[in-house]
């Protein structure tokens, strides 16, 4: 039995501009660990990823749309970054409404948390250029590879694609804590 068997994870994205590794690595790694991962995009069209916000990356097909998912059907929500993706998705009401209980956001993904108004009193990390937005939203910003804040609901954040191993490990640890 895999560590995340029976866990349902939702990954939300726009159809253009998501950072390739920030959507593909968590999706693949969480699936390898047993989670059922659903990718929801704004539209049913193919998702075009980018590498470094400029070079075309891999394309992938979403499983559904943002409008067709309910937060209560999932154990965790992953918000990948990519400047274009993060800036666009935070303007989507359906995406912002999904930010409820357990959220994991990387790089520019925390912009959606700012928009959802869920950061007051929290400690998170993100891509460094977001730190003023994070602080203005009432959170403390820290510079570390992964930050887990369990003030109320769980929020896991990371800074960039280099932090992906720690980010995925933190998601697994929160979804399937090891009991002693």
List, by residue number, the catalytic residues: 107-108
What is the pairing mode between strands 140-141 and 123-124? parallel
Pick the closest to residue 13 from 45, 44, 41 (CA basis).
41
What six digits make up the tokens of 4?
């995340």
Return d(Cα 44, Cα 132) in angstroms, integer: 34
Residue 71 CB-density burial (10 A; 0-12 exposed, 13-18 middle, 19+ buried): middle
Residue position matching structure tokens 């887990």 = 148
Return d(Cα 12, Cα 86) in angstroms, integer: 10
What six digits make up the tokens of 143?
């510079």
């Amino acid at each position: 039995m895999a560590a995340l068997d029976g866990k349902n994870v939702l990954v939300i994205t726009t159809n253009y501009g998501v950072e390739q590794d920030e959507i593909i690595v968590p999706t693949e790694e969480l699936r390898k660990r047993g989670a059922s991962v659903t990718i929801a995009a704004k539209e049913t069209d193919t998702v075009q990823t980018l590498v470094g916000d400029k070079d075309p990356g891999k394309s992938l097909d979403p499983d559904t749309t943002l409008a067709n998912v309910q937060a209560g059907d999932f154990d965790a929500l992953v918000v990948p970054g990519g400047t274009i993706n993060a800036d666009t998705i935070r303007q989507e009401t359906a995406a912002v409404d999904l930010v409820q209980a357990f959220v994991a956001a990387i790089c520019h993904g925390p912009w959606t948390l700012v928009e959802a108004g869920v950061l007051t009193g929290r400690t998170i990390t993100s891509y460094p250029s977001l730190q003023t937005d994070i602080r203005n939203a009432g959170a403390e910003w820290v510079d570390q590879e992964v930050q887990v804040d369990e003030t109320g609901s769980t929020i896991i954040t990371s800074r960039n694609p280099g932090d992906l191993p720690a980010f995925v490990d933190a998601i697994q640890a929160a979804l399937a804590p090891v009991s002693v």
